[in-house]
Amino acid sequence: MEQKKWVDSQVAAGVDALSRKFFVGPGDDERFKKWGEQAMELALDWLKNPEGKKIHADISLQDLAKLFAETRLPEEGLSIEEVFAECKTMILDNSVRINNPRYIGHMTTVVPWFSVVVDILITSINQNQVKIETALASSFVERQTIAWIHSLVFKKPKHYYDKVIQERGVTLGNMTSGGTVGNLTALAAARETRLPGIRQQGFFKVFADSGYKDVKILVSRRMHYSITKSAALLGFGEESVEQIPVDHNNRIRLDLLQAKINELKAANVLILAVIGIAGTTETGNIDPLDKIAEICEREAIWYHVDAAWGGALLLSEELGARLKGIERADSVVLDGHKLFYLPMNHSMVLFKNEDSLNRWRHNAKYIIRKGSVDIGQTSLEGSRRFNALKLWFSLKMLGRSGYHLLLKKSLHLTDLLTALLDKDPDFERCSNPELCILTYRFIPNRVKLELSEVMKRGDTERENQINERINEVNVELQKRQRERGESFISRTMLESTPYQAEIVVLRAVLTNLLTKSVFLEEILEEQRRLGFEIIAELG
Amino acid sequence: MEQKKWVDSQVAAGVDALSRKFFVGPGDDERFKKWGEQAMELALDWLKNPEGKKIHADISLQDLAKLFAETRLPEEGLSIEEVFAECKTMILDNSVRINNPRYIGHMTTVVPWFSVVVDILITSINQNQVKIETALASSFVERQTIAWIHSLVFKKPKHYYDKVIQERGVTLGNMTSGGTVGNLTALAAARETRLPGIRQQGFFKVFADSGYKDVKILVSRRMHYSITKSAALLGFGEESVEQIPVDHNNRIRLDLLQAKINELKAANVLILAVIGIAGTTETGNIDPLDKIAEICEREAIWYHVDAAWGGALLLSEELGARLKGIERADSVVLDGHKLFYLPMNHSMVLFKNEDSLNRWRHNAKYIIRKGSVDIGQTSLEGSRRFNALKLWFSLKMLGRSGYHLLLKKSLHLTDLLTALLDKDPDFERCSNPELCILTYRFIPNRVKLELSEVMKRGDTERENQINERINEVNVELQKRQRERGESFISRTMLESTPYQAEIVVLRAVLTNLLTKSVFLEEILEEQRRLGFEIIAELG
């Protein structure tokens, strides 16, 4: 058969050279191996001796910006040697050393090295989870992993999971790219359950016919900002999120929650969902999940639990007890890239009722056909990589017992820091930690004593004056500490303290397995030094 | 200072053992290297000799399900040797060989091996793009990459990009986990621009006050299903998506688009957006982007272009001309994991106007602060891995010229298959390919001749009868071909043919750089054989 020839033989030669250079098969497989090993070396070099490296590089943001200011795209390819060199000097050397044991500031943490290893496999086989024709075994791995986590959360009997684990048409939940898409999915399912038809006919028509005056979502003030984002996207609006005040343990005030429910029901307002938090992003506290469940069951309200941070505790029988009541939720979000110790980014949204996700089941003619095993039928997202393998692999490598140890270590570190703070005259602890997060502030002992006096005599003006000043000091302290680059802690503001005004607090997230007690002592010493230095400067 | 001690020394010892085993630093770095190399070996073994391996393993879905039917989570960790062995025999051996040169069925394709290599770096440094405190250099890399692609799409002058590329507060677009989140973001921005206040106050109030009778989104019938998903999530409802018929080239009918706009405007319906497609998922055709731009400019309608599939053509000056008019769009979505030849999953949503994303700018007290350089301020997603490096790295490695060659090769393969089909009596081509996608069907020559006669005499009943039969044959053919596992092609249904009824078509996606013309010939031979076999069976 006569063939259409390449019009341009130069193009043909170029393609040939390219495929031999960069594709396994026609090419030189040794190159793949060699550069894979080089990348491993580079990664290892970056990862090792973490405590000896500055957390934030000594380069200013302005200078860093200049490194990436070339606006013209590369016309010709560079050699891999050149690109690797740029990766090292421009990027790796200027990346945040989140594995430094003195980095105790955000939820991003060091991960076991086998997570890197498993990503080599995920990317190499490049499956697309949307459809069995591009996924095969990976579809079943994802389903198995979801069933595992579902059984931890909802604790249905084993025979139930034996039946549904791989049952076509039964969907217990989705893996999502992150907690935000997870919360969005949960609230989308709640919307279609409570206001059926919006998916098809739109918000306006269905709501107008519903007879309700308004819609609200109830959650504590410690909620994650993805809740308002989801409410806004879904058409409820950010104002639909009623933030219920918390107690001094940063847990939702049940009395105020119940009062709000009564008020809204009396006013003919639909309560789309009540959201419990396990645990809060800012303070790591856990809402009284069973008490909220009671309310939701009695009031027939959709109950969502945002367990993005703390869900992994369920892996440990002992620690999982802290989340008692989570099994009564209608939907739950968990983040793999948090306390499951997976690399960025991996989340799950799970539903108690198999029907919940059916309300979003969809199909397309060329893909994810009706009646198929395609797991893309219920995901809000389309193409997705085989991230399920990360969690599957990690659960096999560590087992529940390994996770128990990792979590114990994090909680132990939190206890250590708590003890250090509680006996230190120049610090004040600002929350009771439950889940590896602790807030506190620097406040010199003499100021602390004065503040205590001021509080006793009810002098709010002076109280606010002092706190305003101490807020300033702690903002500056956190900034200088970050700029010095020896250690890192984040900060936030809390209203849930004994004070009238909002308080700036330092926020420690203690999930780095490499952190030791001596580092915690050093960090407090550094903060004390910086704090007094700033106070001296401010005069 | 006295320290709080571990209550349980066994736990302490367990943690210690775990950290030495699985974390770089305290542990044995050689283990990381060794198992990284093992993973490279495993990946290489999977990748090489792709044409010699069955695309879909010989295992039935039932038997595959049984491999992943254990519902109990692992209590104790397994050895890495065991988990690797399971990965190989249970997963890799049963994964879809998307790199087989006879796999020409979906958009999931073989990627250059350096993409695997770069993922080692991404996962090892585990940056979280949401915030500079967890990202640093990676924030700037993401911004640079977005500016690069923005300049290809919107073609603003160089001095503009020189100014904004790293300018705090200016956001040209987001990297997203996929095209769905990209389309969702674009339509969310359109919603807040055309119906400002929904984000804050909700759909019902704002729409009631708007005075509009209804809202519609206009797009051709060849749209991706993520458009209806997005419309449903945002509260417009799936019914708000008006699917405009296409011509025989699968391009939106401009006359019908204009007529629909006139009709809706006369009826006081808000047209939220008109969406152009470049190119269509099912047939790879490109809407007349400049003509749609003209209409949208004249009618003052938000213009979104879904260039998830074809956007990468802009990397080639020659081929990019096919997307003329895209620079007049208000928002554009492109998928890295398609013709940018990146692994799953990577997408971008870009905006012509810097203000568009400001309508979704958000902050949180503990993170992504106001006035910061945190790129999480405008993303609908929260935590995200450093996927930007994949694209940055790939653009540096291949350059625009390398991408030009990859795209030329794909288009050349499409030309080859077109030529083969056009001279083959037993096949009928069902679309004119523009972007590496081609649809056709098996139809024996004698049936083709009869159908042509029937059409001439206008016998619709007989026409439908024949097509129904041929549809059946092609459904079965695609299924058998997949089950044989030697080659793979997808299928869909099209109404945009000369026939009255919807036609089942085989859908070839020709992006695998390893595919050669001889494989295409073999695939057609296999299909002919299967086709006649099925016809004989059906009698």
**pLDDT for res A367:** 66
> How many CA atoms does the CB half-sphere of A401 hold within 13 Å?
10
Is the pLDDT score of A7 beyond 70?
no
Subunit contact A386:B72, Cβ cutoff 8 A: no
**pLDDT for res B366:** 67
Contact B468, B504 (CB under 8 A): no
Subunit contact A36:B40, Cβ cutoff 8 A: yes
Q: Tokens 């930690």 appear where?
A: A433
Gap from A277 CA to chain B (nearest CA, Å) = 17
**pLDDT for res B2:** 40
Whether residue A341 is found in the same domain as residue A431: no
In a domain, B182, yes or no: yes
In a domain, A135, yes or no: no
Subunit contact A77:B397, Cβ cutoff 8 A: yes
Cβ neighbourhood burial of B205 (10 Å; 0-12, 13-18, 19+): middle
Q: How confident is residue B487, by pLDDT bands cut at 50, 70 and 90? A: very high
B68 lies within 8 A of chain A by CB: yes
Range of the domain at B314: 127-384
Q: How confident is residue A29, by pLDDT bands cut at 50, 70 and 90? A: confident
Subunit contact B22:A491, Cβ cutoff 8 A: no
In a domain, A392, yes or no: no
**pLDDT for res A261:** 98
**pLDDT for res B363:** 79
A229 lies within 8 A of chain B by CB: yes
Tens digits of residue pLDDT in A145-198: 999 999 999 999 999 999 999 999 999 999 999 999 999 999 999 999 999 999
For range A1-13, the mean pLDDT: 66
Alpha-carbon distance B330 to B335, whole Å?
17
In a domain, A30, yes or no: yes
Tens digits of residue pLDDT in A401-452: 999 999 999 999 999 999 999 999 999 999 999 999 999 999 999 999 999 9
Gap from B420 CA to chain A (nearest CA, Å) = 8
CB atoms within 10 A of CB A9: 9
Could you give the percent of chain B with pLDDT greater than 90? 89
Whether residue A343 is found in the same domain as residue A215: yes
Which of A325, A342, A358 represents a domain boundary (last residue)?
A: A358
DSSP 3-state assignment of A99? Answer: coil
Whether residue B220 is found in the same domain as residue B369: yes
In a domain, B68, yes or no: no
**Pick from A340-354, B1-15, B22-36, B391-405: least confident:** B1-15
Record the tokens describing residue B389, joined without a space: 């490096």
A460 lies within 8 A of chain B by CB: no
**pLDDT for res A6:** 63
B162 lies within 8 A of chain A by CB: yes
**pLDDT for res B527:** 98
Quick one: which of A232, A433, A249, A55 has its CA closest to B203? A232
Whether residue B323 is found in the same domain as residue B442: no
In a domain, A386, yes or no: no
Quick one: which of A314, A330, A313 has its CA closest to A274? A330
Tens digits of residue pLDDT in A220-267: 999 999 999 999 999 999 999 999 999 999 999 999 999 999 999 999
Whether residue A197 is found in the same domain as residue A323: yes
Gap from A331 CA to chain B (nearest CA, Å) = 18
For residue B490, the cross-strand partners are: B507
In a domain, B85, yes or no: no
**Pick from A3-7, A82-86, B271-275: least confident:** A3-7
Set of chain B residues whose Cβ sits within 8 Å of the Cβ of A383: 107-108, 178-179, 335, 337, 344-345
- Residue among A95, A138, A140 whose CB faces B65 most closely: A140
A47 lies within 8 A of chain B by CB: yes
Gap from A495 CA to chain B (nearest CA, Å) = 12
Say which CATH number the domain at A67 has: 3.90.1150.170
Whether residue B359 is found in the same domain as residue B438: no
B10 lies within 8 A of chain A by CB: no
For range B122-129, the mean pLDDT: 96
Q: How confident is residue B367, by pLDDT bands cut at 50, 70 and 90? A: low
Q: Tokens 């993973």 appear where?
A: B39
For range A332-353, the mean pLDDT: 97
Q: Tokens 């080859």 appear where?
A: B416
For range B398-418, the mean pLDDT: 96
For range B50-68, the mean pLDDT: 92
Tens digits of residue pLDDT in B148-158: 999 999 999 99
**pLDDT for res B7:** 61
Q: How confident is residue B1, by pLDDT bands cut at 50, 70 and 90? A: very low
B491 lies within 8 A of chain A by CB: yes
Interface A-B: count of C-beta contacts within 8 A: 605
Tens digits of residue pLDDT in A500-526: 999 999 999 999 988 999 999 999 999
- Residue among B148, B238, B382 whose CB faces A73 most closely: B148
Alpha-carbon distance A78 to B374, whole Å?
30
Which residue type occupies B97? R
- Residue among B24, B25, B73 whose CB faces A395 most closely: B73
CB atoms within 10 A of CB B155: 12
Give one DSSP letter per residue of B97-154, joined into a string. Answer: -TTSTTB-SSS-----THHHHHHHHHHHH---TT-GGGTTHHHHHHHHHHHHHHHHHH
Q: Which residue of B has its CA nearest to A3?
A: B416
**pLDDT for res A364:** 73
Domain count of chain A? 3
In a domain, B92, yes or no: no
B226 lies within 8 A of chain A by CB: yes
Set of chain B residues whose Cβ sits within 8 Å of the Cβ of A386: 344
Whether residue A194 is found in the same domain as residue A277: yes
Whether residue B283 is found in the same domain as residue B137: yes
Tens digits of residue pLDDT in B278-330: 999 999 999 999 999 999 999 999 999 999 999 999 999 999 999 999 999 99
Give one DSSP letter per residue of A249-295, joined into a string. Answer: TS-B-HHHHHHHHHHHHHTTEEEEEEEEEBS-TTT--B--HHHHHHH
Subunit contact A75:B401, Cβ cutoff 8 A: yes
Average pLDDT, chain B: 95
Say which CATH number the domain at A307 has: 3.40.640.10
Q: How confident is residue A24, by pLDDT bands cut at 50, 70 and 90? A: confident
Gap from A130 CA to chain B (nearest CA, Å) = 11
Whether residue B467 is found in the same domain as residue B495: yes
Whether residue B334 is found in the same domain as residue B432: no
Contact A471, A494 (CB under 8 A): no
**pLDDT for res B5:** 62
Do the strands B437-442 and B490-494 form a parallel or antiparallel pair, or are they unpaired? unpaired
Contact A100, A55 (CB under 8 A): yes
Subunit contact A71:B226, Cβ cutoff 8 A: no
Q: Which residue of A has its CA nearest to B37?
A: A37
Whether residue B277 is found in the same domain as residue B348: yes
Which residue type occupies A149? I
A321 lies within 8 A of chain B by CB: no
Tens digits of residue pLDDT in A112-151: 999 999 999 999 999 999 999 999 999 999 999 999 999 9
Quick one: which of A104, A235, A385, A257 has its CA closest to B198? A235
Which of A63, A91, A110 represents a domain boundary (last residue)?
A: A110
Subunit contact B136:A94, Cβ cutoff 8 A: yes
A48 lies within 8 A of chain B by CB: yes
The ipTM of this complex is 0.96
Could you give the percent of chain A with pLDDT greater than 90? 89
Subunit contact B69:A166, Cβ cutoff 8 A: yes
Q: How confident is residue A51, by pLDDT bands cut at 50, 70 and 90? A: confident
- Residue among A37, A44, A86 whose CB faces B29 most closely: A44
**Pick from A111-125, B18-32, B83-97, B290-304: least confident:** B18-32
Alpha-carbon distance A443 to A429, whole Å?
10
Which of A328, A358, A388 represents a domain boundary (last residue)?
A: A358
Tell me chain A's radius of gyration from C-alpha atoms.
Answer: 26
Gap from B427 CA to chain A (nearest CA, Å) = 16
Whether residue B253 is found in the same domain as residue B353: yes
Contact B451, B518 (CB under 8 A): no
For range B253-280, the mean pLDDT: 98
**pLDDT for res A366:** 67
Could you give the percent of chain B with pLDDT greater than 70? 98
Gap from B149 CA to chain A (nearest CA, Å) = 8
Alpha-carbon distance B264 to B261, whole Å?
5
